[in-house]
Amino acid sequence: MSTTATTETLSVVVEREIPFAPEKIWRALTQPHLIEAWLMKNDFKPAVDHRFQLRGDWGSVDCRVLVVEPNKSLSYTWDAMGLESVVTWTLTPTGAGTLLRMEQAGFRPDQQQAYQGAKFGWQKFFASLEQVVAKE
C-alpha cells in the first residue's frame, strides 16, 4: 500500500459559458448583497487576506481571500465541517460572453459525502448565479 494515495485530493469543477461580460459576473462574485442572492449570507470583501464567513441554515463556512484579480480570477479558502478546501473562480471572455470556471479543490478520499454534496450544490449555485447576473 502506497502512502501517497492518502494525500491525493479530489476537485469539483463546474464550467459554464454565461452570455454576459466578465465585469457583470465579477460583481455577482464579489458584492455581498449579490453573493447572498445566489450563495449565502456573508461579510465578503474582495481584498487579499480578508477573512469572511458564509452563513447558511445548516451552519457556516470560514473563508480567507487568497487571490483577487478583478474580472479575471478570485480564490478563497473554504473550511467547513472538517473540509479544508480552496475555491477558485476564473473568468475568460468569449465571443458570446464569459466562460466561468469554478474549482473547489482539496476533498480527501474519505470526504465522499462532502464531495458529492459539493458536486450537487455547485450546480444549483451556478444556476442561481446566472439568474442574479441576468437581473443585474
- Which domain range does residue 101 map to? 15-135
Do the domain assignments include residue 109?
yes
Do the domain assignments include residue 9?
no
Distance CA 86, CA 11 (A): 9
**DSSP letter for each residue of 114-126:** HHHHHHHHHHHHH
Do the domain assignments include residue 56?
yes
Do the domain assignments include residue 2?
no
Ordered per-residue pLDDT tens for the chain, 136 residues: 444 445 689 999 999 999 999 999 999 999 999 999 999 999 999 999 999 999 998 899 999 999 999 999 999 999 998 999 999 999 999 999 999 999 999 999 999 999 999 999 999 999 999 999 999 8
Do the domain assignments include residue 1?
no
Do the domain assignments include residue 77?
yes
What is the CATH number for 39? 3.30.530.20
Q: Count how many domains the chain has.
A: 1
What pTM was computed for the model?
Answer: 0.93
Do the domain assignments include residue 3?
no
